[in-house]
């Protein structure tokens, strides 16, 4: 299969790219940063010499850039079977009234407008080629949960859930499938606040994260296996289910984890 993953030069996006390649599929990696794309393209090409790997700079908030991403993928790989809308940002974690407008505007542009742009490009492209699967990434707020200091991020994820559900209805009885992808809480550098913000609240958060979070190496294989098996429009691949959350809290009474030690936090 040919796979496009937006925001795939680091974190869970890069992890999924590696897992697809390890399973014998071809991948397009992308990022807004040219140097990141060039670096990952070189690394992955060395790591998986038998696979076709394409790198493309893409700001998902720019519709023309997204169209260029599709054109590059389709042109070099011959089509796109799976498109993963992974690119996103969480923004600064402060009360909304303290946020600079450019911060929340960029969050909305990336997390919501970016997903809309990608779906707008990928749906007709996949329809024309005879089918395909699009996966929209969920996050905190997707299910309606609310917490302070991440209002813009949570609002975009809630909106993406509605968008995904609506597009799945629109794509009923077509060869294009619109699906949900939920990685749960993944430990990356982006999850760790800067040193000046690591106060008592961070220590409390870290206790919960050590119960519920997982590493990229743990989550990425599950997500990729689920995407490869998914053949249902409106289907979901979800790592951290309610049952798993309850089990994690129960097991935390007997088993302690330190997921942030390797990050030096």
| C-alpha atoms less than 13 angstroms from C-alpha of 220 in its C-beta half-sphere | 22
Could you say which of 153, 158, 162, 180 is catalytic?
153
- Beta strands across the sheet bearing 132-137: 53-57, 26-31, 2-5, 82-85, 132-137, 176-182, 236-238
The answer to whether 32 and 20 have CB atoms below 8 angstroms apart is no
To the query of whether residue 153 is one of the catalytic residues in this protein, the response is: yes
> Which residues are part of the catalytic machinery?
153
């Amino acid at each position: 299969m040919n796979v496009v993953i937006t925001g795939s030069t680091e974190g869970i996006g890069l992890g999924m790219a590696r897992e697809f390649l390890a399973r014998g599929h071809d991948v397009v990696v992308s990022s807004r940063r040219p140097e990141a794309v060039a670096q990952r393209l070189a690394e992955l090409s060395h790591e998986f010499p038998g696979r076709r790997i394409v790198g493309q700079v893409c700001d998902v908030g720019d519709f023309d850039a997204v169209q260029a991403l599709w054109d590059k993928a389709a042109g070099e790989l011959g089509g796109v079977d799976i498109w993963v809308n992974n690119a996103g940002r969480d923004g600064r974690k402060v009360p909304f009234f303290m946020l600079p407008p450019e911060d929340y505007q960029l969050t909305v542009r990336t997390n919501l407008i970016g997903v809309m742009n990608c779906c707008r490009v990928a749906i007709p492209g996949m329809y024309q080629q005879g089918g395909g699967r699009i996966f929209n990434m969920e996050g905190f707020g997707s299910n309606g949960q609310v917490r302070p200091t991440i209002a813009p991020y949570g609002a975009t994820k809630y909106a993406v859930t509605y968008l995904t559900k609506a597009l799945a209805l629109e794509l009923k009885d077509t060869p294009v499938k619109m699906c949900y992808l939920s990685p749960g809480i993944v430990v990356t550098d982006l999850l760790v606040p800067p040193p000046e913000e690591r106060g008592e609240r961070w220590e409390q958060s870290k206790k919960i994260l050590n119960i519920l979070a997982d590493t990229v190496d743990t989550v990425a294989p599950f997500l990729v296996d689920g995407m490869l098996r998914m053949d249902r429009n409106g289907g979901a691949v979800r790592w951290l289910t309610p049952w798993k959350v309850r089990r994690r809290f129960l097991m935390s009474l007997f088993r302690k984890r330190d997921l942030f030690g390797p990050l030096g936090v």
